[in-house]
Amino acid sequence: MKTLILMLLITIPLKLPAQLCPKQVATRNKIVQVCMDMQLDSLKIEIVKSIAFRESSFEIWSFNPDGSSVGLFGETMGFVIDVNIISGLNYKYRDRCHLRKSIEMLVIYLNHYSDWTEPDVYYKWHRALKQEDNKKYYKLIKSEIKIARL
């Protein structure tokens, strides 16, 4: 019986997570470095990477043709205004496509609105009016975590 189970395990092909392209890996590594420079703990770094992967697949120049969201995290102009009000700083709309400034804005936003637990962060980041949509977003992030965090 043990031999049969072992044979089945050997013959069943393993489904590996999708591979990131070299450019995505490089951006992900830069995200990690910026987060470490900002002295974020490992959980926050993992959350930042997960949001960046979900929103832009680690593409700093990503944009949504149906709206005003751009950058790694799909940040809107309203988001930049909100961060400036929260922080008293003066981020520009173009900073959404600047790796470090984009991460800084995300951290300011999440420090203000969330408790940095995964469900809370993802619900508050997605900020859909319908709770069902936030739950779907959270499930998507959870299903992609292995790819984003490799």
Q: What is the CATH number of domain 27-149?
A: 1.10.530.10
Per residue in 56-94, pLDDT (tens digit) is: 999 999 988 877 899 999 999 999 999 999 999 999 999
Tell me: pLDDT of 23 over 90.
yes
> Distance between CA 90 and CA 50 in Å, rounded?
26
Domain map of the chain by residue range?
Answer: 27-149
